[in-house]
Structure formats: structure tokens, C-alpha cells
Amino acid sequence: MKQTLDPKIQLIADVIEFRGYEISPANNGIQAKLGESDFSDDSVSFYVLKNNPDHVRAKLQINSPLPNQMERDLTNIQKQLQDSLDGVADIDTFHAFGSRRGMDIYYATVTMRDTPSPVIKFQKTAGTAFQQFKGIDSKMFRQSLDNLGLPRSSNLRLALTRIFRESLSAADLYAAIQAEAGCLISDEDVAALESILQLEKVPPFISGLITLMKAMHESPELASQPEERTSVVGDDPANGVDS
């Protein structure tokens, strides 16, 4: 049975998982591996207090080999987590609690933002779109674009092809859509987005991309600034996805 999380913890889980953390259930919350960093063997838990569910805590278990490095390690971990929670919450300084099974334990207060950054909504949508990509190969993607009637030389098709090719993670997909949305500057490109969304039986992995591109295009502060995009391997009908 899937664990039902407090909405605050669920938001934290969605955000840090999108940003590359490995998430697993924990008592009254979640546990996250610190990922590809100097602390990849360590983990942090986020949970709400049972006697005061409005309060969120972070519990850190770390094994610092050199005691004189502990303060620096804690500062670096706090900064790493704050960067990962950007737009959602603020994490306070970690304070020592004790040790257990050879691991030092620290706690920090987590203060949720009253109004999360609008970027978070787009990142969650990108995470959903990335999940829909799983199991879709280049042939299936190409055939789906053919079925939508997108010419192989159209700007929108080339943009979707680049997004598909570059999306090795949810964060990659978000960045690719952000870049392509910033390049949608012609009325023809925008009209193509609108026309696809009005079609019936658009595959979810396509409609998710189109919806996110359109939303980002309509929010200029979120889309990357337009830049010249050239045809590269994978864009040309003779190469890559559109072969």
C-alpha cells in the first residue's frame, strides 16, 4: 500500500526527487540519499512532528571520518539541501543530537514557504511527463509525430525531437522544454502547439510536452531566452530520432 504523506512532505519529496535524490519511505515522512556528492553514503529524513504536524524537521545521519571536518561537512550539507529545496522551503543549521550505531545524528528545522515558487509546478509537470516517456523508444516517438501530421521539417517537430533526445532525466526534460519554449517566437509555432492540443487521441507523452511548452511560452520569466538553434544529429530526417 502506497504511503500517504503529509502535503508538506509530499511537496519536498516531489521537488528533491526531481532534482536527483533517491527517495524512500521513512517513519512519518521520507528518507533521501544525499546523492552524487562527498556525502553519497549518507541520508537525510524529512518528517512532520507527530505532536505538532505544522512543523517539519530534517534528520541527518552522517559518518564524518575526521571530527575536525564535521562543522565544514554540516555547512556543506546544509547548503546542498537548501539549494535543492529552493523555492519550496528553508532549512536551518543542523544541531547535534547524539549518535547511534556509529552514525552521528543532527536535526534542523525546515520552514515551508507560504507560496512556493511557480517554477515548482512546472517541474512537477515535467516529472510526470518524464515518467510517461518510460518505455517509449525513438521509433514509437517518430511514429507518434507522424500520426499527428507534423512535417519532418517543421520547427515544432524539430523541437520535440530535441527534447526527446536530450531528456535523460526529469531535470533534463525540464531544461530542454524551457530552452525550446524560449525559441517559440513565430505565430506559426504557437498555432502548431494549439492545434495539437485540440486533436483527439494525442499520446500522453506528447500532450504533456506540448502543454508544458505552451505554459512556459506564456510565462516568459520561466522560459529560456531565445537562441539560434541549428539542426544537429537527430534533427535531420536522415539521422537519430527522425530517421
The torsion defined by the Cα of 171, 176, 178 and 184, in degrees rounded to 10, comes to: -170
> Domain count of the chain?
2
Q: Is residue 44 within 8 Å of 59, Cβ to Cβ?
A: yes
DSSP designation for 67: G
**pLDDT at residue 185, rounded to an integer:** 67
Q: How far apart are CA 17 and CA 174, in angstroms?
A: 13
Supply the mean pLDDT for the chain: 81
Same domain, 124 and 213: yes
Same domain, 19 and 93: yes
Domain that holds residue 39: 7-112
Same domain, 102 and 167: no
Residue type, 163: I
Residue 201 placed within a domain: yes
Same domain, 22 and 82: yes
Residue 236 placed within a domain: no
**pLDDT at residue 135, rounded to an integer:** 83
pTM of the model: 0.68
Residue 234 placed within a domain: no
- CB burial of residue 10 (10 Å; 0-12, 13-18, 19+): middle
Same domain, 51 and 99: yes
Tens of pLDDT, residues 68-114: 677 888 888 899 999 989 888 999 999 988 888 778 889 999 999 88
Residue 226 placed within a domain: no
Residue 127 placed within a domain: yes
- CATH number, residue 102: 3.30.1460
Evaluate if residue 48 carries a pLDDT over 60: yes
Give the up-direction half-sphere exposure of residue 125: CA atoms within 13 A in the CB hemisphere.
21
User: 233-240 long-range contacts, Cβ below 8 Å, gap at least 24?
Assistant: 234/161, 234/162, 234/165, 235/158, 235/161, 235/162, 237/152, 237/153, 240/138, 240/161, 240/165
Tens of pLDDT, residues 114-167: 877 777 888 888 888 888 888 889 999 999 999 888 888 888 889 999 999 988
